[in-house]
Amino acid sequence: MQLKSILKIAATVIAAASVITLAGCGGDKDASASAAKSQAGSAKTYVVATRGTFRPFTYMDDKNNLTGYDVEILKEVEKRNPGIHFEFKTMAPSAGFVGMESGQVDIVANQITYNEERAAKTIYTKEVNNYTARKLAVRNDRNDINSLEDLKGKKVVTTTNSEVTRQLQKLNETMDPKMDLIYPDKL
């Protein structure tokens, strides 16, 4: 199956999942779960890349199981459609997109923000589900930082590839002195 076809299926699945979630659950959950498990061997498997560290959307619970909104939506789709199986792999979203280009990953589920460069190569869902609260976190002893403007000349830690990072980079273009943006390997 070609990447574009897989991506169309993934976009449809995720969009349908949003609608399905709103429709509510009906029937015997245990029966549908065991039916899905028994047919998982014959199901079409889609590899899903997700960070696993972005609470509440994709993270590891206290038993070290992958969960979160994006993950649970796909698990619900899998329960309701025994012909589909999702295999989750934790990785940075940027690695997920590289994996899609190389055919190793079918879907990236991690509150991905739309951008033109990615849209040229992938398919996004039509329903936007990227509404996260942004907060500025500073040490308790810092009372000199209350807004983004107060970050001029300061060290700021951010993920390597996110909507917030792009906003900080754009803001940094006009700042004087500039922020020192730090990108740790595993955030």
CB atoms within 10 A of CB 162: 20
Residue 128 has pLDDT above 80, yes or no: no
Q: Which two tokens stand for residue 25?
A: 């659950």
Distance, CA of 175 to CA of 137 (rounded, Å) = 20
Name the residue with tokens 């796909």: 74
Cα separation, 149 vs 147, whole angstroms: 5
pLDDT at 63 over 90: yes
* Domain boundaries defined on the chain: 3-119, 133-187
Give CATH superfamily name and number for 3-119.
Periplasmic binding protein-like II (3.40.190.10)
Between 4 and 75, name the one with better pLDDT. 75
User: What's the confidence (pLDDT) of residue 55?
Assistant: 82
Q: Quick check: 30 pLDDT over 50? A: no
pLDDT of residue 8: 52
**Which sign does the torsion angle of CA 71, 73, 76, 78 carry?**
negative
Handedness of CA 164, 162, 64, 10 (dihedral sign): positive
Q: What is the pLDDT of residues 113-127, one digit of tens each?
A: 777 888 888 887 766
Task: Give the residue-averaged pLDDT of 108-137.
Answer: 74
Which pLDDT band holds residue 179 (cuts at 50, 70, 90)? Answer: very high
| pLDDT value at 43 more than 70 | yes
pLDDT top residue among 140 and 23: 140
pLDDT at 136: 75
